[in-house]
Amino acid sequence: MGICWSNKIKAETTPSNTGVSSKYVSRDANSLSGGSRASSSSVPPTPRTEGEILQSSDVKNFTFNELKLATRNFRPDSVLGEGGFGSVFKAWIDEQTLAAAKPGSGMIVAVKKLNHEGLQGHREWLAEINYLGQFHHPHLVKLIGFCLEDEHRLLVYEFMSRGSMENHLFRRGTYFQPLSWSLRMKVALGAAKGLAFLHAAEPQVIYRDFKTSNILLDVSYNAKLSDFGLARDGPTGEKSHVTTRVMGTYGYAAPEYLGTGHLTAKSDVYSFGVVLLEILSGQRAIDKNRPMGQHNLVEWAKPYLTNKRRVFRIIDNRLEGQYSHEQAQKAAGLALQCIALEPRVRPNMDEIVEALKELQDTRGMRGKDRRSSGDPVPVAPPKSPCKSSAAAENGANYPRPSASPLYM
Ligand SMILES: Nc1ncnc2c1ncn2[C@@H]1O[C@H](COP(=O)(O)OP(=O)(O)OP(=O)(O)O)[C@@H](O)[C@H]1O
Ligand SMILES: [Mg+2]
């Protein structure tokens, strides 16, 4: 599991220093709790203090005992997955009263339990309630409630029965058959709509941790963004950016943000480009199991993305015959625009949503493609030079041993 863990390690750096720490610690200048947020006086609708956040959010305040009952005492066999925050458990609650219910009755929910103490864990827990307690959107995961009791901090979400996009793209096994081209495009569009919604909010919200493990899928593969622990308000007034300590995940964070700590909505756009590349290639943003020179997906893929003929070399072999030349080129071209080094050159999320809408209808595109260019639909694109290692193919190096293979 070693190699891929590094992907999940949060970047905790000062703007001038890009060292890696395994600690999930933020040192944001503008923390959510306390008075520092009061400096953003132009954002009145957003709660400022912990009390205001907890009181104003439209979610239930659970007792620890209720969640203990609902998860059957946090049984290890009901763990859905694990992240930097802690473990996520499957639980049952009554649909009407939201009280703990017997397994198999009522409504399934996902309970995230913070497994370490400290200010940072608390800040992220609070940020999640601050944003998800206010926002309701078809492409944001629904927060049902929270628990704050003694040292216990938990969050209760709607259950996303197909788990994370990360599992679908990178996990091998009977339960994780390769996602088709059209489902991948559907997920990309859904996630883009979630980000577009946040960027259009007043004040704008920058998500800051866009990656495949934070894209959750419902039974119909509708994508919803989860994990708002690192989200923060974007610049207001004349300001072009907000300055923060660098947080996020290596491989996804925009280079200018890593270098300067200057955060804009275009930082999310860069991360979106990395995710789109992962979706197209079926390869992780960073994977040290790949041959030398291919560890970093962006660096490896860029030369292929700029060449219309070679672009197929980065498309997942498992998608053979499912897409047209035109679709592959458009999707790859979009990813390339998103990962542009110059943030201003990157498209905004609304433009990305529009571009992805055009990529939704596979059959329509194929017909159009044949008519307009006469190009045949590729049946067997050349093998990717970045083919997964045998270990990756059989799942031996999957980094999340606790993740449940089936979420149904
Ligand atoms: N609402 C949910 N419904 C179903 N499964 C979920 C839900 N929330 C999380 N999970 C599962 O739990 C896993 C862990 O989620 P979590 O958000 O704690 O960490 P992560 O996003 O994987 O990693 P990181 O902490 O680095 O962001 C997810 O990848 C997913 O498989
Ligand atoms: Mg997550």
Look at residue 322 and tell me whether its pLDDT is greater than 50. yes
- Greater confidence (106 vs 380) lies with 106
Residues 147 and 179 in one domain: no
* Rounded Cα gap, residues 20 and 366, in angstroms: 45
Q: In this structure, which ligand is nearest to the CA of 110?
A: 1
Is position 335 within any domain?
yes
Residues 133 and 179 in one domain: no
Residue type, 298: V
Out of 138, 159, 180, a domain closes at 159
Residues 171 and 314 in one domain: yes
Residues 340 and 237 in one domain: yes
Q: Is the CB of 114 under 6 A from ligand 1?
A: no
* Rounded Cα gap, residues 221 and 183, in angstroms: 7
Closest protein CA for atom 4 of ligand 1: 160
Taking the centre of ligand 1 as the mean of its atom positions, its distance from the CA of residue 386, in whole angstroms, is 27
**Annotated active-site residue in 77, 94, 209, 369:** 209
Q: Is the CB of 110 under 6 A from ligand 1?
A: yes
Query: pLDDT by residue (tens digit) across 182-229?
Result: 999 999 999 999 999 999 999 999 999 999 999 999 999 999 999 999
Q: Which token pair is 117?
A: 């103490």
- CATH code of the domain containing 279: 1.10.510.10
Beta bridge partners of 93: 100, 107
Whose CA is closest to 226, among 288, 312, 137? 137
- Greater confidence (351 vs 385) lies with 351
Is position 82 within any domain?
yes
Please report the pLDDT score of residue 46 as a whole number: 53
Q: Is the CB of 226 under 6 A from ligand 1?
A: yes
Beta bridge partners of 158: 109
> Which atom number of ligand 1 is nearest to the Cα of residue 404?
31
Please report the pLDDT score of residue 363 as a whole number: 54
- Mutational test site, ligand 1, from 10, 12, 20, 88, max ligand atoms within 8 Å of CB: 88
Residues 70 and 185 in one domain: no
Beta bridge partners of 88: 81, 112
Q: Is the CB of 82 under 6 A from ligand 1?
A: yes
Residues 153 and 170 in one domain: no
Give the total number of structural domains in the chain. Answer: 2
Whose CA is closest to 299, among 274, 264, 269? 274
* Rounded Cα gap, residues 15 and 259, in angstroms: 6
Asked if 142 contacts 157 with a C-beta cutoff of 8 angstroms, the reply is yes
Q: Is the CB of 164 under 6 A from ligand 1?
A: yes
Is position 273 within any domain?
yes
Is position 346 within any domain?
yes
Q: Which token pair is 75?
A: 């049984």
Whose CA is closest to 242, among 230, 251, 250, 252? 230
Asked if 273 contacts 356 with a C-beta cutoff of 8 angstroms, the reply is no
- Greater confidence (373 vs 46) lies with 46
- Mutational test site, ligand 1, from 82, 250, 406, max ligand atoms within 8 Å of CB: 82
- CATH code of the domain containing 89: 3.30.200.20
Taking the centre of ligand 2 as the mean of its atom positions, its distance from the CA of residue 139, in whole angstroms, is 15
Taking the centre of ligand 1 as the mean of its atom positions, its distance from the CA of residue 167, in whole angstroms, is 10
Taking the centre of ligand 1 as the mean of its atom positions, its distance from the CA of residue 213, in whole angstroms, is 6
Whose CA is closest to 111, among 79, 138, 152, 140? 79
Look at residue 302 and tell me whether its pLDDT is greater than 80. yes
Mean pLDDT in residue range 286-291:
94
Instruction: For residue 209, indicate whether it is catalytic.
Output: yes
* Rounded Cα gap, residues 69 and 229, in angstroms: 26
Element (H, E) at 201: none
* Rounded Cα gap, residues 336 and 48, in angstroms: 38
Residues 133 and 217 in one domain: no
Domain that residue 292 falls in? 163-364
Q: Label residue 118 left, alpha or beta by phi (over 0 means left) and psi (-120 to 50 means alpha).
A: left
Dihedral pair phi/psi, residue 358, rounded to 5°: -70, -15
Residues 168 and 128 in one domain: no
Taking the centre of ligand 2 as the mean of its atom positions, its distance from the CA of residue 243, in whole angstroms, is 23
Specify the residue for token string 């995710």.
275
Please report the pLDDT score of residue 272 as a whole number: 98
Out of 139, 159, 179, a domain closes at 159
